[in-house]
Amino acid sequence: MPRESLPPEGNHLVAEVATEIVGRRYFPAAVAPGEPVHLVREPGNPHDPWAVLVENRSGEPVGHLRREVAGWLAPGVDAGTLRLAGRLPRSAEDDGFAVPLYLRVYGPPGHDLGEWPAGARSRTPQPVRPRRPAPKPRPRRTGGTPVDLKPFLDGLELGPPAHHRNLTLIPLLAREKAALEKAGKVPVLLSEALAAGRARVEEVSEGGSVASLAVVNAGAEPILVPEGEILVGAKQNRVVNLTVLVAPGGRFVLPVSCVERGRWSYLSRHFAAGAWASPRVRRRKHEALFAERAGARVSAQSVVWAAVDEELTAHAVASPTASFVDGFEAARRRNGAYRRRLKLPAGACGVIAGKGEQVLGIDLFAAPESLAALWERLSEAYFAEAAVEEESAPPTPPEKAREFLAAVAGAARRDPERPGLGEGFDVSSPALAGSGLLWEGTLCHLAAFSL
């Protein structure tokens, strides 16, 4: 839809309109009070060439804008001058034909919408209730030995971007097979080893430790445990702090953070690979871990809990144990439109996510097979964070992705404290937080996020 190409100067709020979604009886999909909706032009509609379809947050059609309101706004949308965003009032009642809608119209400053039609009235903007701010650590200025990522990143090319509403995914493709591997080979993923019965994850002791889990590698190959993976079960769910490689034939103590503050009792003896942490949780976690290491008066666990609380609030989920997974699962049921429109291209070993002019982050693995195996959970984390944003955004330009890769390469520093096999590194600067792992010439994983 042309709204996606609106230039940055067109992001000015021109008007807030109270109107209605009509024709509800013809659309079985549900829409809830307070839910954000998508506005999609339907120039081929046989009944109205100015029609604007309304989709719920899962991308299912729920009705149309009133004909008069659509005819008023659609020409500006088609011309790329106007962009629309909508949300149902929290008190909205669906009578089977129409349901109230608050519509935001964005365009150039001073844009004149002309005479307002019947069925549209001005709505006074409501004040935004501030969320409780999370503890804000200072990024660690790393003075360690630089890590040369350039040979790995130079072996990548950007694939065709995919865009939906406010999220752009730019695939990263290796120019040559095994370009990221050099002299090494791709390690087995923890989720694969668990499924094959070659590994198990458990509490470090009967009493447990919030900050640690035990990984037992019973196989003959090293196991890659990627940062951001959420392990569910045992006494409480945890998120992996930093990517590590576990040697075969031993028991490894894995640094983690809790993402389920309200439970400390056994649901199972062993953990399973569950959800994936959102970009918000991951960037906050990285930043806080770096600050904590540097001696700053900040608790990385407190920062993670605050980020989880924000996620649950954003998804309107009341979790009895303050579990991130509850928010993740609720969001997954509403992410259908993102899932259908943002597919992982064949051969992609990584992806850069962006919102308009801003790059959100990167996940890069040694081989396409690794990313494909994790894509369902990893992508849902990106989708969930994007879906709660009311506003749309234009596609992220490829040059922003290239600039981000260059900044990541310049901010990589060796992490001598990383446990396990290989060489861990941090990506830390005032604008970036992330980490990764090298092993025998293989870039096993790189994750980095804009602050």
Return the structure tokens found at 370: 């690794």
What is the topology classification, in CATH, of domain 2-122? Alpha-Beta Plaits (3.30.70)
Mean pLDDT in residue range 61-88: 92
pLDDT number for residue 359 = 97
Residue 196's SS3 state is coil
pLDDT digits over 386-428, tens only?
Answer: 988 877 899 999 999 999 999 999 999 999 999 999 999 999 9
Report how far residue 447's alpha carbon sits from residue 170's, in angstroms, rounded to the nearest whole number: 15
Exposure letters 278-311 (e unless 16+ CB within 10 A, then b)? bbbbbbbbbbbbbbbebeeebebbebbbbbbbbb
pLDDT tier, 153 (very low <50, low <70, confident <90, very high otherwise): very high
| Residue 74 identity (one-letter amino acid) | A
Q: What angle do CA 274, 277, 283 make, to 5 degrees?
A: 160
The answer to whether 36 and 62 are in contact (CB under 8 A) is: no
What is residue 219's DSSP assignment?
Answer: S
Mean pLDDT in residue range 26-47: 90
Strands 188-189 and 223-225: parallel
Number of Cβ atoms within 10 Å of the Cβ of 130: 6
Return the structure tokens found at 302: 């407190």
Per-residue pLDDT at 131 exceeds 50 = no
Short-list 19, 2, 123, 13, CA closest to 74:
2
Q: What percent of the chain has pLDDT over 90?
A: 68
Q: What is the DSSP string of 136-175?
A: -PPPP---S-B---HHHHTTEEE---EEETTEEEEEEEES
For residues 391 and 32, the model is more confident at 32
pTM score above 0.75: no
Short-list 277, 201, 205, CA closest to 241:
277
* Domains in the chain: boundaries: 2-122, 150-450
Average pLDDT, the chain: 89
